[in-house]
Amino acid sequence: MWTLYGSQGSGSAAAEMALQRCGVPFQVQRASTWEADSAQDELRKVNSLGQIPTLTLGDGAVMTESAAILIQPGLEFPAAGLLPADPAARRRSLRGLVYSAANCYAAIGIIDYSERWTTATGEAEREHLRQGIHVRLHECWSLFADQFLSSSPFLDGAAPGALGMLGAVVSRWSGTRAYLRQQRPALAALFDRVEQHPDLSPVFARHWPAS
């Protein structure tokens, strides 16, 4: 039994989709730094940063970092289609996953926890930082669209793969989807298709029931 540490509306949604696609028996342990009644202590035992998602495998191995958590089962269960079978397409998908995590997902952490990234103690200074990161975040998504959109209905091919799953989740935050509808509508439409895919829509509905 694998254990996925996560919380509703968080990046663990993408990992949940990936594990379901692979048919791996897993349980979800609710844990986050913002939920005092969650399994914070258990999470920190396996990930000292207390970040989610965190995944523990059946043999006790620990996977952290969203891109790695999606890549690992994609490699272990190639028939699940999380990563493209074609080598060139797979390289592109791996690059896109790391790009998303390093640029887009990382920016969300600065916006949500600006106090960790500046010595400024005044709210005005921190708000300036958050505004700047918002601009940079949206720029990174524009560059993502310019580099990774293709003629396929999904980023990874005929069905959503790991790259589409992560992108659809991370683009839900900080006004990104609204920005994309104006500036890169093709990418916004693609993420909408990911959310509406019959295999994935139940997970999105569970994590974002009001949307």
Residues of the chain with CATH 1.20.1050.10: 87-197
Residues 18-71 pLDDT 10s: 999 999 999 999 999 999 999 999 999 999 999 999 999 999 999 999 999 999
Does residue 76 register a pLDDT over 90? yes
* Average pLDDT of the chain, as a whole number: 96
**CB burial string 116-127: b at 16+ within 10 A, e below:** eeeeeeeeeeee
- 81: Cβ–Cβ under 8 A, 6 or more apart, which residues? 21, 156, 157, 159, 161
What CATH number has the domain spanning 87-197?
A: 1.20.1050.10
Give the residue-averaged pLDDT of 172-186: 97
Distance in angstroms (rounded) separating the CA atoms of residues 171 and 102: 14
Give the residue-averaged pLDDT of 140-153: 94
Give the residue-averaged pLDDT of 120-136: 95
Count Cα neighbours of 140 within 13 Å in the Cβ-side half-sphere.
Answer: 23
Question: Residue 152: pLDDT band by 50, 70, 90 thresholds?
Answer: confident
Q: Which CATH number fits domain 2-80: 1.10.10.10, 3.40.30.10, 3.30.70.20, 3.10.129.10?
A: 3.40.30.10
- Three-state DSSP state, 54: strand
Report the DSSP beta bridge partners of residue 6: 30
State percent of the chain over pLDDT 90. Answer: 96
Residues of the chain with CATH 3.40.30.10: 2-80
